Chains A and B, each alone.
Chain A
Amino acid sequence: MKTETLETMLAEIEAKRPVVLVTDLETGEQRLLHRGDGGTESKRADVERALRVDTCVAADAEGGPQVFYQPFNPPLRMILIGAVHIAQPLSAMATLAGYEVTIVDPRESFAAADRFPGVTLNLEWPDAAMESLGLDQRCAVVTLTHDPKLDDPALQVALRSDAFFVGCLGSKKTHASRLRRLAKAGFAESDLARVKGPVGLPIGSRSPAEIAVSVLAQVTETLRKPAP
């Protein structure tokens, strides 16, 4: 690796810009490509796939892999709307799984630091908070309050972003009315289809910790096994 390639790569990681290191294993030649770079259609697709699935890709040619794609993505983030009971186990589990967790809740009695040691709390109104967080493809957003006044503004910002996961806690009934409100606000079918609700894999969870497991499992599935 050229020293300047290493320097550039470290600068991109520091700046949280997604980048892929492409190595020709035969010659040792390397290039750093951003999303959309790559010359040919198939190369662009390889770059996109490496970044999206966040996994190294060895493009197989005859006689073994000759080109190696290694993605360097910004850290995963999870944004929780509502400093409610279930946010406690979910923020702890998501942190263990490698997410930088931010909890958004303007209600001071809920978003109390001693309820969430070590977690970033944002006490702005959800729409303002979400705008300032600058959501990207490495973000998962989960609304937990059950209160449309808090959940809906956050959801609207999330649906206008590239967040890879958008989910809402609540019953099937409240989810149906949530989708109706979003449709009324002008969101298209394809936007509504992005919302996972009721959030979480159906594993029969009861306690807040079990619900957190089901939510984190669904987020993980969406990240690692995206629909083809």
Chain B
Amino acid sequence: MRDPLGRAPAVLLVPAALATALLVVPLAAMVAATTWSGLPAQLRSEPLREALWLSLTTATAAALICLVLGLPLAWVLARIDFPGRSVVRALVSVPLVLPPVVAGVALRTAFGRRGLLGEPILELTGFSFPFTTWGVVLSHVFVALPFVVISVEGAFRAAGREYDAAAATLGAGRWTAFRRVSVPLALPGIVAGLVLGWARALGEFGATITFNGNYPGTTQVMPNLIYVTRQSDQDAALALSLVMLLVSVAVLLLLRDRWLGTP
């Protein structure tokens, strides 16, 4: 097993070990601190089932909306040369680096009852996003869409333009080339982007709590439930966190071939 290039230098190995420990130790500590005997009761509790169901459904709805809106945007960014493309890409990526609470404040400024769009919508239809499940989906889409767009754009770029050109020589229009060539070629990247967006939506807390509030069954998603429970019952909060950890690990297993597989 000797590497012909020589031993790995300690200057790289030590920080690498520290990095691994930094990421693994807190999660391991959480698992170790969980009171396993109380776990089954926690898992059967009504608030947990309600919150988990809400989390899964809203994240899935958000991922579907990201697919419908994000896939075309990713294609436009990858394939169409237009002035200001890099500006659009930069603007679309902003929510990636935005603190989630700021995302919540921004959403409220736009879609709140007194918001830029929220007020006219309320007057016209009597509907407002805050405190509704649709509001939760909206904030999930806001935080997840950039992940989907950026990773799908990368997938489209990897499935280069020349395939579109080849399709065009065979008489395919752009729509046909998109459907029959680009999407199939980029499919693994599209799926990975969607799963990433879905996972991001599942963990979303800041924007949701700021914009939508917290009510069991309508807006109380898992992270909200964990945050509120933590204030009165640490053991229950740990058990709930463990459920989220399991869901995250499940997502990683789903992506294993892409990220965790050996190249």
A and B pair up:
no
Give residues in B with beta carbon < 8 Å to A. none
Give residues in A with beta carbon < 8 Å to B. none
